[in-house]
Amino acid sequence: METTRLAVVSNRLAIVVEKGSAGEWLIKSGSGGLVTALGPVLRDRGGLWIGWLGSNLLESLDDQALETLLAEGSRETGYSLKPVELTEEEIQKYYFGFSNEILWPLFHDLPSRCNFDPAYWEVYERVNEKFAGKIAENTGEEEDYVWVHDYQLILVADQLKKMGVNRHTGFFLHIPFPPLDGFIRLPWRFQILEAMLQYDLVGFQTVRDRRNFLDCVRMLIPDSKVIGHGQVARCLTPRREVLVGTFPISIDFRQFAEIAGTREVEDLAWIIHANLPDRQLILGVDRLDYTKGIPHRLHAFANALERYPDLRKHITLVQVVVPSREDVPEYDALKREIERLVGEINGRFTEVGWTPIHYIYRSLSRVELLAYYRTCEIALVTPLKDGMNLVAKEYCASSIENNGVLILSEFAGAAAQLQNGALLVNPYDIKGVADAIHEAFLMDPETRHARMEKMRRSIQRNDIFHWVNAFLRAGIAKNLSQFPRLELFLPKPSPKTEQQKSPQ
């Protein structure tokens, strides 16, 4: 296992290329959890990252200048970077089209938002073939393990086979996998399902997602069966044997906890609270996306202010929205809806010295983000559906005094792991979320401490490095022993959310 080289393939490359103030090109390492986790692994065993540079700005760069930039990037990251170039049409139809207008809403159980434009499929296939070509050029059958990431690249293993190229392959889906009823609406359902079965290992975030996938295989592929019930099972179809596993992604817990404890974060956390004094702060942090349930959350917050007058003047919602896909009309409409609701709620409830919602629309620096995590007494993480949701885990890791309360959607992948410490809510249940806000507001320090400690322990044990090792152990070493059984979350009736116990 130790000698196998790793080739990571994702839509975006692990670096960001930007233009500096003097018009020069600058290269920076990507900052997401995946880059942090895979960086050391790629450096240690040697490896490469294949992906799109994510920018059309590069059209103005000649080949020689691009080579120099990538060589510089490789020196900085410690592994090779192999860019896949996409044309404008490919970006529109493969990325904005098939990936973001079909797979994204369908896999998040929002089929009414899908635009099943037939022109998208052809380009999705073509771009996946392009990625497969890049893999074929840069890797070998014996020495490399090819680890493909996410819904943009489902067809890569299939395309490799169509080219007659044999590779050891693994695939990880970062977003949810839908139940059969949703999945079968996809006009290309058989192609997508068959393509997923061309990998040697397919990984999902949760037991729920894997179960949905296996249900689809059982129902749509005759004579298929599943052997084993643990974290990694074998799926047998008449033509293939594929390992199918559950690997909940995580964060670099230690790094978050360490940075949260620095002087810089502490000072900023203090300044934030000093400017919003004598109240508890509830934090919402989301990329601008309709799956994150931001309007539902704002309605729930207004409902809480209306039904629980003790919250007024004693609580402020800090809602941070990170700009994303802004040139897509649907996202622009969502932004306007959020801003209208924030204005309406502030207009309705503001009193002298207190504005209920503090709204921020921009990307935050790491220090700012951690200062908000650290200083807010409550986090409100209520996506309508989410593969995992790293914000929930980052909030807990940064709560180094164990005094934060996490209110978490039942439909976030993180709910299965954090169900013993978080207040779980159904994001569609406006009154239920409002009740949870009030419960969090009143929660005594001992209960907060006990709940947060449980969650932090679990995230620390199952951090991002554990995730990488588990996937590679199953994928490369094919070692299926010692994988614990993972938890599934199922809602139960709770006395706290019974309608008659809360004010009307």
Residues tagged active-site: 174, 386
**Which C-beta is closer to ligand ADQ: that of 236 or that of 322?**
322
**3 state SS of 232:** strand
Any contact of residue 391 with ligand ADQ (CB under 6 A)?
A: yes
From the CB of 249, what's the least distance to ligand ADQ, in Å?
4
For 34, which DSSP code? H
Query: Going by DSSP bridges, is the β-strand pair 232-236/241-246 parallel, antiparallel, or unpaired?
Result: antiparallel
Q: Least distance (Å) from ligand ADQ to the CB of residue 459? A: 13
Cα–Cα separations (whole angstroms), residue 221 to 66, 157, 237, 467 = 45, 19, 7, 30
Of 148, 207, 320, 455, the one binding ligand ADQ (CB under 6 A) is 320
- Least distance in angstroms from the C-beta of 149 to ligand ADQ: 9
Within 199-323, strands assigned E span 201-204, 225-227, 232-236, 241-246, 280-287, 315-322
Nearer to ligand ADQ, 350 or 363 (CB): 363
| Residue placing its CB nearer to ligand ADQ in the complex, 159 or 206 | 206
Min CB(466)–ligand ADQ separation in Å: 14
CA angle at 150 for the pair 145 and 151, rounded to the nearest 5° = 130
Tell me which of 45, 126, 161, 174 binds ligand ADQ, using CB under 6 A: 174
Name every residue whose Cβ is closer than 8 Å to that of residue 140 and which is 6 or more positions away in sequence. none
* Least Å from the CB of residue 241 to ligand ADQ: 26
Among 144, 394, 410, 435, binds ligand ADQ (CB under 6 A): 394
Q: How far is the CB of 288 from ligand ADQ (least distance, A)?
A: 10
Distance CA 467, CA 462 (A): 7
C-alpha of 247 from chain center: 13
Place of tokens 């994988």: 483
Strand-pair category, 144-149 with 168-172: parallel
3-state secondary structure 192-225: HHHHHCCCCEEEECCHHHHHHHHHHHHHHCCCCE
- Longest Cα separation, the chain: 71
# of chain residues touching ligand ADQ (CB under 6 A): 18
Contact pattern for ligand ADQ over residues 262 through 301, marking x by CB under 6 A: -----------------------x-x--------------
Amino acid identity of residue 183, one-letter, is F
Q: Is residue 175 part of the contact set for ligand ADQ (CB under 6 A)?
A: yes
Q: Given candidates 42, 272, 305, 369, which one binds ligand ADQ under the rule CB under 6 A? A: 369
Pattern of binders to ligand ADQ over 20-39, x per CB under 6 A?
-------------x------
User: Which helix H or strand E contains 48, and what residues bound it?
Assistant: strand 47-52
Compute and round to an integer the Cα radius of gyration of the chain: 23
Q: Which helix (H) or strand (E) holds 310?
A: none
Residues of span 371-390 touching ligand ADQ by CB under 6 A: 386-390
Nearer to ligand ADQ, 206 or 224 (CB): 206
Q: Is 410 in the site for ligand ADQ (CB under 6 A)?
A: no
Establish if 202 lies at the interface with ligand ADQ (CB under 6 A): no
- Interacting residues with ligand ADQ (CB under 6 A): 33, 174-175, 249, 285, 287, 320, 322, 363-364, 369, 386-391, 394
